[in-house]
Amino acid sequence: MRNLHLIPAAMLLLFASACQQQASQPPATPTSPAVANIGGTTIDESDIDDAISALPENLHLKRNDPKLRAHLLRVLLRRQALSRHAENLHLDQDPAIYRRIVKARDDILIESLQQWKMRHLPEPDKAAIEAYYNTHLGEFTIPEQVHARHILLANEKQAKSVLRQLKHGKDFATLAAEKSRDDSTKARGGDLNWFPRGVMVKAFEDKVFALSKPGQLAGPVKTRFGWHVIELLGKRPASRQSLDEAREDVIGILKQQALEAWVDEQVAAANARIINPQYQQQSATGQAR
């Protein structure tokens, strides 16, 4: 199904950058026990919690591990020390660096704004969900797929020899490990997993999709990679998600469309004006497309 993504920050920079201003004083945060102080800046337990939240999910379970928290505190102290030193050197006043700082701030605000708006968008009604589903059935169709494995050989003679051995009962995975030139699959017995049409080269694809029953062999098949011996492991016919199965995807798509429409409204309300005629022309051409 379609992968849903929030609108990239670059799309929102047009109206966000038009409203740039210095960061205001942040609101007071709930009290959290202080753990360190550096140059007048206090680092507390919540700062370490935030750092853990940014780590891979498998590390979140170690939130209370003293060693992990101590390591992250050292990282935070190092960041503060280096950041303060950069400010003392007035690096933040360099125009190029300042633009990067502003952009990073904008990116954070834009992401937060998108998330806020998505939370406040109304849920699409039943009629809208059904209408989208019925007019975009192709988006909810899963194409025919096959599960196959192969052994890649250097020439036709080798491929025919391997095919004969397989027909006489030799184990496919063993031969793949011993003889296949495909280093990416030989360790797992030549397994290519499930794939639809359009993934493999045509000669290989035509041969494997022509097979009908698991266990059937095909080959030798010549491609630009060499000579293949193929075994079909499984086959799935094309199918389509039901409306109930696709409902959450449809809701996400409709809310994404609503977000995009809202963004367009914000851009229009910001009264952005392109001054350079060359960009005016390019902008008009892009909109026409």
The pLDDT value recorded for residue 11 is 43
Tokens 């494997």 sit on residue: 208
For residue 115, pLDDT over 60 is answered with: yes
Q: Which amino acid is at 269?
A: A
User: Alpha-carbon distance 278 to 289, whole Å?
Assistant: 17
Average pLDDT, the chain: 88
**C-alpha torsion 12→15→17→21, nearest 10:** -120
65-105 residue pLDDT tens: 999 999 999 999 999 999 999 999 999 999 999 999 999 99
What is the per-residue pLDDT for 26?
59
Question: What digits encode the pLDDT tens for the residues 205-241?
Answer: 999 999 999 999 998 999 999 999 999 999 999 999 9
| pLDDT of 7 strictly over 70 | no
The pLDDT assigned to 16 comes to: 42
Beta strands in the chain (DSSP E): 34-38, 41-44, 141-142, 145-153, 191-196, 217-223, 226-236, 239-240
pTM over 0.85: no
Which residue ranges does the chain devote to CATH 3.10.50.40? 144-237
The total number of residues shown for the chain amounts to 289
pLDDT exceeding 90 applies to what percent of the chain? 79
- The mean pLDDT value for 247-256 works out to 96
* Low-confidence winner among 58-62, 161-165, 179-183, 221-225 (lowest mean pLDDT): 58-62
Residue 31's pLDDT band, with cuts at 50, 70 and 90, is confident
Residues 6+ apart with CB under 8 A from 75: 51
Q: Provide the pLDDT for residue 157.
A: 96
pLDDT at 287: 61
Q: Is pLDDT above 50 for 251?
A: yes
- Model confidence at 17, in pLDDT bands (50, 70, 90)? very low
Residue 212, pLDDT score:
93
**b/e 185-223 (16+ beta carbons within 10 angstroms → b):** bbeebbbbeeeeeeebeeebbebbbebeeeeeebbbbee
Question: Is residue 72 within 8 Å of 48, Cβ to Cβ?
Answer: yes
Grouping H, G, I as helix, E, B as strand and the rest as coil, residue 36 is strand
CB-side neighbour CA atoms (13 Å) of 68: 15
How deeply is 117 buried, as exposed, middle or buried, from its count of CB atoms within 10 A (0-12, 13-18, 19+)? middle
CB atoms within 10 A of CB 121: 13
pLDDT tens digits, residue range 280-289?
776 655 564 5
Q: Which CATH number fits domain 144-237: 3.10.50.40, 1.10.760.10, 1.10.287.1080, 3.30.450.40?
A: 3.10.50.40
Secondary structure element (H or E) that encloses residue 105, with its range: helix 95-120
Tokens coding 74: 């050292």
How far is it, in rounded angstroms, from Cα 282 to Cα 285?
Answer: 5
E strand or H helix that includes residue 167: helix 156-167
pLDDT at 181 over 50: yes
* Lowest mean pLDDT, pick from 4-8, 33-37, 215-219: 4-8
